[in-house]
Structure 1
């Protein structure tokens, strides 16, 4: 492990000066792994608003998933931590002697958590239990036969579920799953592989969970070098029926599972609900289908037979930042569009985020937002702007919820990615930071209290370094964050 990531107990007594921090920044900038890339850093004392460290702080760079702290700040500020998504199951037609003469409609609100496993311990049903609960509500309403379609109304977010300029090798994978007006199981499926021992040989798809009906999978994944990790990518566009999987998986693994993004979440939801209705003894004579345009909604008097509410937005924010869930962030952006009387699109969502930040007093001049999650390479923000967001949120009524969503350093049971950072140092159970990583970009942003009791807000971004340098830059940034916890005013 690199020095500084898990220091000895003696590290508790180490004192770091501001000059040392600035020297560390210069060292990172001149690392051979940086190549011709750029480092940008801003550190501010929240109490005095004094800028302690600034390097390229006002220039804009691709922030990767650090952008999530911007999106979640806007969502908490506008919607509040108690906001919930509401999805309703409605009849559109007359019910006569157990027969619904019309459609059964599931009207979505853009809830990204519906059927997710993350909230099961809090009483929110995962996918199968969710579908069973919906089907039970139908039978409890006295419906045994539906003479019409099962309709999934996903019109709230329109039909463009993927932002305009996401990379082709991201779309189709779980982290590239788009946010629809109706989402289920985080729009996730797993592909299980059997891997041959000889490098170069073709792997075999053993299973797909949950089943993706109507999708043809073309497997081009071969056995790669031992311990080479997941180098396989799913190539699939929204609403298509073909997915091509390319790349390699480690030959010594035997078995390996990768994650895919469901290509048509509303249709997948329709089929899942149709299966649950069939199991519950409800016959549907029409189709399981979806709509994205308001004028196409089925006609008829609506009666709500079941309502599903999401966890609170504050609880969703916790997992969004702890596990960097792109789907949640994209849904937040589109929700902000809807809640500010705009169409529920990514473009309008990013405009809403900028407006909300402006209302908070953040200078958004030159900030470019292409999505809510940071997956787009076209996003561009400055470290100073990110720190400005952190400063404003430190004074906001939702700060405790916001702060708690950041991964916590040096704590084993924290679900974020910093549990091994700063162990046995002042950073442990103190430093909170959201990380970011996309091709040729690494970043961190967060809070730490230094040895003088000052609360610091910081953001550090590296862009355009060679691909092989990512690990070294990540470790260097982690060492720098630990140094901030050791920092003492002179």
Structure 2
């Protein structure tokens, strides 16, 4: 009986190896596989030094760079300044990728409380705001991310210094009123946004705002929530330059830590969040405004100087571009450095992983937890072929199982 079991294991392993061998012989220069132990010692490798397209597995590098720069307990801030003379309210963003309706509601309450306090102290006569002025200058305008499309779909959401709800609105058709309404209870749908509705929209649809409107959208939502709190607003929402200073401004600190943000980034493979982090790192390192060039300079410098990855090519932070190039060996080094935060990755049984998919590109990187409770970093990069992907995964898991020696 024991001999039969051993024969079955041998034949199964042989079948997997033949499948993988056939696949990689066909596309020898466009595929790479690597499995190592938790110290980086190679257990299995195929084309480990071939530069390949990592797709969304690149988000692991972006996440790691952000953790190293800011710390996982970092919280983004957004500023407001109320001009007592002009009665204008200024808003300034610094790249917060999760400035969502719930956060804006909390910030609006902060601002309203500040204004009512000024009234109660007799510093101003009444709680009135004239204009709301949104300052987007911490980021350069209209940053184009390589590989991103120009569609109105939310996965093509564009980046900015102050973005509300990923620069998108989520709508649904209300058959009773025969019009679109907000599909999110926490998010209003002011009349000014109705112009975003196009014929052919689905019964429920999340759409990307036009560039001009998305610049003002945080102010539009702030306008609504502040009025709900009882403060009167007499003017309009505009864009302009922030006039206050840090010492006299109202500071909103996000309820989301960087750890929270990265977990969402990796779970949902959010391109917008990844590039917000990249751009913010660029502005923090080289000074505002954030630009693509500053952001990618940070990532490439981090890859080279902190991880020793020579000749890696990183042109944006999410993996959208085909011009991103990493070898499986370099991705393995990224994983080794990311190991303290492996639980930020998606989990499937004993596997913690990040996938990446583009047309004719399929990748997967992460950790397999062995029966010895050790983590085994693995990398699968298939460019121009998807053949053998599942067989490769099974083979790597089998090799991890063989490391356990009770």
Output the TM-score relative to the length of structure 1: 0.68
Unaligned residue ranges in structure 2 (runs of 5+): 120-125
- Computed over aligned residues only, the root mean square deviation of the Cα atoms, in angstroms, reads 3.6
Q: What are the Cα deviations for residues 131-162 of structure 1, in whole angstroms up to 9, with x where unaligned?
A: 45544444444362124x31112211121244
**Which residue of structure 2 aligns with residue 406 of structure 1?**
345
CA contact (8 A) 2:30 2:52 kept: no
Distance in 1 between the 2:67 and 2:77 partners? 17
Unaligned residue ranges in structure 1 (runs of 5+): 1-9, 117-124, 195-203, 221-244, 246-254, 410-427
State yes or no: 1:86 paired with 2:32: no
**Which residue of structure 2 aligns with residue 309 of structure 1?**
254
- From 128, 138, 145, give the equivalent of 1:156: 138
**Which residue of structure 1 aligns with residue 206 of structure 2?**
259
Q: What are the Cα deviations for residues 258-283 of structure 1, in whole angstroms up to 9, with x where unaligned?
A: 43233443311111111223333333
- From 63, 71, 74, give the equivalent of 1:72: 63
**Which residue of structure 2 aligns with residue 50 of structure 1?**
41
> Any residues of structure 2 matched to 1:442-481 within 5 Å, and which?
442-451=362-371, 455-465=375-385, 475-476=390-391, 478-481=393-396
Shift of 1:19: 7.1
State yes or no: 1:63 paired with 2:12: no
**Which residue of structure 2 aligns with residue 215 of structure 1?**
195
State yes or no: 1:145 paired with 2:128: yes
State yes or no: 1:175 paired with 2:158: no
- From 267, 271, 285, give the equivalent of 1:340: 285
- From 20, 27, 33, give the equivalent of 1:25: 20
> Any residues of structure 2 matched to 1:127-146 within 5 Å, and which?
127-128=104-105, 130-142=107-119, 144-146=127-129
Shift of 1:105: 0.9
Shift of 1:26: 2.3
Is the partner of 2:42 in helix, strand or coil?
Answer: strand
Shift of 1:23: 4.2
Shift of 1:128: 4.6
State yes or no: 1:358 paired with 2:340: no
CA contact (8 A) 1:444 1:477 kept: no
CA contact (8 A) 2:48 2:329 kept: yes
Distance in 1 between the 2:308 and 2:264 partners? 25
Is the partner of 2:160 in helix, strand or coil?
Answer: coil
CA contact (8 A) 2:76 2:95 kept: yes
Distance in 2 between the 1:151 and 1:263 partners? 18
Distance in 1 between the 2:345 and 2:275 partners? 18
Larger relative helix fraction: 2
CA contact (8 A) 1:447 1:456 kept: yes
> Any residues of structure 2 matched to 1:220-299 within 5 Å, and which?
220=200, 257-264=204-211, 265-291=214-240, 296-298=241-243
Q: Which one is further off, 62-71 or 18-27?
A: 18-27
Pair 1:273–1:18, CA change in 2 (3 A): same
- From 75, 90, 112, give the equivalent of 1:105: 90
Distance in 1 between the 2:179 and 2:148 partners? 27
CA contact (8 A) 1:84 1:313 kept: yes
Is the partner of 1:112 in helix, strand or coil?
Answer: coil
Distance in 1 between the 2:153 and 2:165 partners? 14
CA contact (8 A) 1:15 1:487 kept: no
Distance in 1 between the 2:207 and 2:375 partners? 40
Q: What are the Cα deviations for residues 316-352 of structure 1, in whole angstroms up to 9, with x where unaligned?
A: 1111112212221111101211221244122211110
Shift of 1:57: 2.1
Pair 1:342–1:127, CA change in 2 (3 A): closer
**Which residue of structure 1 aligns with residue 351 of structure 2?**
431
Q: What are the Cα deviations for residues 380-404 of structure 1, in whole angstroms up to 9, with x where unaligned?
A: 222211111112333xxxx1xx211
Is the partner of 1:70 in helix, strand or coil?
Answer: helix
Is the partner of 2:199 in helix, strand or coil?
Answer: strand
Q: What are the Cα deviations for residues 288-329 of structure 1, in whole angstroms up to 9, with x where unaligned?
A: 1224xxxx4448998323433342212211111122122211
Pair 1:214–1:313, CA change in 2 (3 A): same
Q: What are the Cα deviations for residues 52-82 of structure 1, in whole angstroms up to 9, with x where unaligned?
A: 2222322222211101001011111122112
Q: How many residue pairs end up in the alignment?
A: 382
CA contact (8 A) 1:107 1:152 kept: yes
**Which residue of structure 2 aligns with residue 368 of structure 1?**
313
State yes or no: 1:188 paired with 2:179: no
**Which residue of structure 1 aligns with residue 123 of structure 2?**
none
Pair 1:274–1:15, CA change in 2 (3 A): farther
Distance in 2 between the 1:258 and 1:440 partners? 28
Distance in 1 between the 2:172 and 2:326 partners? 38
Q: What are the Cα deviations for residues 203-255 of structure 1, in whole angstroms up to 9, with x where unaligned?
A: x98556453716344335xxxxxxxxxxxxxxxxxxxxxxxx6xxxxxxxxx7
CA contact (8 A) 1:17 1:489 kept: no
